[in-house]
Amino acid sequence: MDRIDSSRTHATIPSLGVGIYSIGEASRLTGVSHRRVSGWVRGYSTIGRAETSPLVGSDLARSDRTVELSFADLLEVRFVSTLRDRGLSMTRIRRASERAAEILQCRHPFITHEFLTDGRTLFLEVAGELGDADLVDLAESQQVFRTLVRPHLEGVEFDGGNPRRWWPLGKARRVVIDPDRSFGRPITRDSGVPTQVIACFAERFGDARAASWYGAPAAEVRDAVKFERSLAA
């Protein structure tokens, strides 16, 4: 089996523009429950059972156990949730993530452009090494794997193999999550107003007044309102 050339794209997390998200905000933006996000970035501890280490290794974890997620962490939470919805156990996901990180030589292997475009080969390799039939089943079907990764490619903009921006309504819309702007809060593309702020104003006073008040195109206001409503649904 051909091995993915890990020298092509080494995903690294930049020191600036990483984004900052609380567990609650990460849950709101990804649609993954607060409990799941917390368990994945903090690990689980249950009386009578051994504590499990975090599945998503937060780039912003602090010694006082306060956990904030980076932009890369946020996108990884989305992908892990997709794998869980496909029925993969946490143990299998953890083993696959650790081995994929070794092969791709990066901290967040599941969200690199290399994995999302050629990850089926990598999953087959990892599955073979681990002797995991479930991973083999997932990776052997090209159509299944494409369906799995498509949402994580379509709305994400990459730079050098790393995710740089997330367009949650699609790139044709004017809502962007960019770790280099407003600490990664969802904002309108051109005016840069947080979507929560402009959508709240628009809900109270109307789209036209919101556009005038914030100096934003009417299309941005409509997209911000649509985005915030989608999160509340």
For the stretch 177-206, pLDDT in tens is: 999 999 999 999 999 999 999 999 999 999
Q: Identify whether 15 is part of a domain.
A: no
The answer, yes or no, to whether residue 62 has pLDDT greater than 50, is yes
What pLDDT is stored for residue 26 in this prediction? 96
Q: Identify whether 6 is part of a domain.
A: no
Q: Identify whether 183 is part of a domain.
A: yes
Q: Please give the Cα distance from 64 to 77 (Å, whole number).
A: 22
Structural domain that includes position 225: 175-232
What pLDDT is stored for residue 1 in this prediction? 38
Q: Identify whether 3 is part of a domain.
A: no
Bridge partners (DSSP) listed for residue 130: none
Instruction: Please indicate, yes or no, whether residues 36 and 146 belong to a single structural domain of this protein.
Output: yes
What pLDDT is stored for residue 17 in this prediction? 66
- pTM of the complete model: 0.84
Of 51, 33, 50, nearest to 42 (Cα)? 51
Count structural domains, the chain: 2
Instruction: Please indicate, yes or no, whether residues 138 and 184 belong to a single structural domain of this protein.
Output: no
Instruction: Please indicate, yes or no, whether residues 161 and 194 belong to a single structural domain of this protein.
Output: no
- The amino acid that residue 58 corresponds to is S
Instruction: Please indicate, yes or no, whether residues 27 and 129 belong to a single structural domain of this protein.
Output: yes
Q: Identify whether 12 is part of a domain.
A: no
Lowest mean pLDDT among 29-33, 118-122, 181-185: 118-122
Instruction: Please indicate, yes or no, whether residues 96 and 131 belong to a single structural domain of this protein.
Output: yes
The answer, yes or no, to whether residue 68 has pLDDT greater than 90, is no
Where does the pLDDT of residue 5 fall: very low under 50, low under 70, confident under 90, or very high at 90 and above? Answer: very low
Instruction: Please indicate, yes or no, whether residues 36 and 124 belong to a single structural domain of this protein.
Output: yes
Q: Please give the Cα distance from 94 to 10 (Å, whole number).
A: 20
Q: Identify whether 8 is part of a domain.
A: no
Which residue has better confidence, 5 or 55?
Answer: 55
Instruction: Please indicate, yes or no, whether residues 96 and 196 belong to a single structural domain of this protein.
Output: no
Q: Which of 141, 166, 191 is the last residue of a domain?
A: 166
Mean pLDDT of 25-43: 93
Q: Which of 113, 142, 166 is the last residue of a domain?
A: 166
Which residue has better confidence, 142 or 163?
Answer: 163
Classify residue 44 by burial, with Cβ atoms within 10 Å: 0-12, 13-18, 19+.
Answer: middle
Of 81, 95, 82, nearest to 37 (Cα)? 81
Q: CB 30: neighbour CB atoms within 10 A?
A: 22
